[in-house]
Amino acid sequence: MKKITAALAGNPNCGKTTIFNLLTGSHQHVGNYPGVTVEKKQGVCRYGDYEITFVDLPGTYSLTAFSEEELVARNYILDEKPDIVVDIVDASGIERNLYLYMQLMEMDVSLLLVFNMSDIAEQRGLVFDIQQLSTLLEARIVQMVGTKGQGKQFLLDAVINSIEKPRKQRIHKINYGDEVEHELDKIEKALIAEEPELSQKYRTRWLAIKLLEQDDDISKHIKSSRVKNIVTSSFEFLKDILGENPEIYMAGRRYGYISGACQETIKTTAELRHNYSDMIDSVVTHRVIGLPIFLSLMFITFFLTFKLGHYPMSWLEHLFGWLGKTISGFWPAGSENWFKSLIVDGIIGGVGGVIVFLPTILILFMMIAFLEDSGYMARAAFIMDRIMHKIGLHGKSFIPMIIGFGCSVPAIMATRILENKRNRLVTIMVIPLMSCGAKLTIYTLITQAFFSEKLQPLMMWLIYIIGIILAVISIKLLRLTIFKGESIPFVMELPPYRLPTFKSISIHMWQRGWMYLKKAGTIILAASIILWFAMSYPKPDTSSHQNKLEYSAIGRLGKAIEPALKPIGFDWKIGTALIGATAAKELFVSQMAIAYSVGDPEQADMTLREKLSANYSPLTGFCIMLFCLIYAPCVATIAMTKQETNSWGWAMFQFFGLTVLAYVITLIVYQVGNLIFY
């Protein structure tokens, strides 16, 4: 069996992922490119004598060094040298799509063109002279309709044909005009003389073009000062006579070349003025009803996620409950030992607590995949951009933040829809300030314990609003300090609406679900075991009446930090519960219950709520909510932040940053509140 590697390149929204899914099915591997947060997808397809590995490169419009995605795609092609690059273009928007192809052509790699969405192109009345285009563009061309699964065979045949019978040297090249060509020539000559190694490794003409475009990534490889000087003087000279930046001028020439090629080979038989996409857009991006439509769609997404997710979630809860009981049954009464407690309370309790969220996560990602694949997400981003732009974020950031009200883990995963790294990092940092479902259990306990029925909804609303306000302020602060820089201006393509395929959505859903299970699951397992040990050991003598929790490692830790917690109105019990709750926020409630389980005999028959209101003031109650809202996110969130930012640094920044913020704000509220109320 012969092995081939084929890289799939293409514009965003050209249907590349659909074709990738069509080719590789479920035989996919999703990871990250080393050192960056760009997703790397690989899949294998067996065909005839060949085992073809398809690599789905990030969707880009060009191959400059301005964005991480473009650089990743370019470096993959240059350094990993796939046997063939398959450029997938949206046939209904051929000219714009061929721009990327021009750049691939200049890199002089083995190429194959796929005209995807040929059906839509046909509807728009476009007729292609494939033979002629193939000659002009010097590559085999395959017509496909990825969403209907048409053309898979042709594509695979063409890949193998292109490899078995490769084309000769390219004849055509883009002519950039006499002035530019002259300067390119000078740079090329200097490169061959001064940088023999580099011009051996890459194509000299391509290097010269990139240098003239002042490409940062290529420029840094140049050591020779003579080459540098020639490039600088050529650049200044051309800028002067062309009246614009040479790189922009050259982009114009590439488009000119495409226009020329298309003029001869593409005929328009019918002019379609208004299509259904325009009609949908006139409603959903309407300046008055656009926002309400978006908000209702979001509401429906959440409603369905948590409503539908509720049933499998309770089944799983029962399953884990049953599992715990069954395993407990292996030990006859009285013979229970530490091992049983570790398995049942530690591992099944801890890991089960995470897995029960899986259905919710799967449904949520199915909904998001649908909104994204259908083309609506681009419109939503535009609607929200008006508001989000004011705080220095992209409109799309709104979506992960909304998901944050459910759970931070999928919210952080959802930041993948943001292309800009700075935007992604800022959004990830503030997501924990959106009160998640687990924090809701804490709020419920506290509001019911300390506030009258009338005040409860108000307090609940207040804590959510405080979270949002803090998030907005934090974003502003982060954008002004660590993530300084011009806010990314908004340019985004509005892809035509299309019905997503079931295959694409289910593959997307399972990939996200699996990631959740694998990453959050392993970390949670470790954390559960550690926490269980900390809560169970060391054990006090059975004869003493000491509180077991107080005697344990985590209880001692709580005691140790008590002096630091005094100024914000907390005692060691709250401290212990707060530490435990970093494993999962809802643990705060069970930890408080354990801490109060052995205590004053007079309070023995009181509920936890009554015990809390008997021991703390409403101000302390409010401060608990406030602190829980802001402080260190749970272990699963930290693990996810680490994975998505590819750095422990950001995860730790989030951990400590939020804890410090929580402390400062709670301190102010408690001290001021004390002055006013007591």
Partner 1 sequence: MEQKEIKPLSKIRSGEKAKLVNIEAGRGLNNRLASMGLVSDVEISVVSNSHPGPFVINVKGSKVMLGRGMANKIMVSGCDNEKDNSGSGR
- Binding footprint of partner 1 on the chain (CB under 8 A): 61-62, 64, 66-67, 92-96, 99-100, 126, 214, 244-245, 247-249, 251-252, 255, 258-259, 262-263, 266-268, 277-278, 281, 285-287, 290, 378, 382-383, 385-386, 389, 486, 489-496
Q: Least Å distance between CB 190 and partner 1? A: 23
For residues 70 and 421, give the distance between their C-alpha atoms in angstroms, rounded to a whole number: 13
Closest CA to 254 of 102, 94, 66: 102
Q: Least Å distance between CB 48 and partner 1? A: 36
Nearer to partner 1, 225 or 263 (CB): 263
C-beta of residue 156 within 8 angstroms of C-beta of residue 52 = yes
Q: Least Å distance between CB 250 and partner 1? A: 9
Nearer to partner 1, 467 or 495 (CB): 495
Q: Least Å distance between CB 475 and partner 1? A: 18
Q: Least Å distance between CB 119 and partner 1? A: 16
For residues 603 and 445, give the distance between their C-alpha atoms in angstroms, rounded to a whole number: 18
Nearer to partner 1, 100 or 587 (CB): 100
Nearer to partner 1, 171 or 288 (CB): 288
Q: Least Å distance between CB 103 and partner 1? A: 9
DSSP per residue, 522-577: HHHHHHHHHHHHHHH-SPPPTTS---HHHHSHHHHHHHHTHHHHGGGT--HHHHHH
What 3-state DSSP class applies to 521? helix
Residue type, 493: E
Taking the CA atoms of 53, 59, 65 and 67 in sequence, report the sign of the dihedral they define. Answer: negative
Helices within 165-288 (DSSP H only): 178-194, 196-201, 204-212, 216-219, 225-242, 246-265, 276-284
Q: Least Å distance between CB 263 and partner 1? A: 6
Residues 6+ apart with CB under 8 A from 79: none
Nearer to partner 1, 336 or 493 (CB): 493
Nearer to partner 1, 88 or 626 (CB): 88
For residues 642 and 649, give the distance between their C-alpha atoms in angstroms, rounded to a whole number: 8
Nearer to partner 1, 214 or 341 (CB): 214
Closest CA to 89 of 137, 131, 50: 137
Nearer to partner 1, 32 or 275 (CB): 275
Q: Least Å distance between CB 128 and partner 1? A: 10
For residues 4 and 441, give the distance between their C-alpha atoms in angstroms, rounded to a whole number: 53
Closest CA to 37 of 423, 314, 295, 328: 423
Residues 6+ apart with CB under 8 A from 648: 642
Q: Least Å distance between CB 64 and partner 1? A: 6
Instruction: Specify which residues 116 forms β-bridges with.
Output: 90
For residues 200 and 136, give the distance between their C-alpha atoms in angstroms, rounded to a whole number: 27
Q: Least Å distance between CB 178 and partner 1? A: 18
Between CA 611 and CA 616, with CA 612 as vertex, the angle to 5 degrees is 125
Q: Least Å distance between CB 665 and partner 1? A: 33
Helices within 375-481 (DSSP H only): 376-388, 398-403, 408-414, 421-430, 437-450, 455-480
Nearer to partner 1, 281 or 372 (CB): 281
Nearer to partner 1, 362 or 378 (CB): 378
What 3-state DSSP class applies to 361? helix
Nearer to partner 1, 277 or 456 (CB): 277
Crossing angle of helices 246-265 and 130-137, rounded to 10°: 150
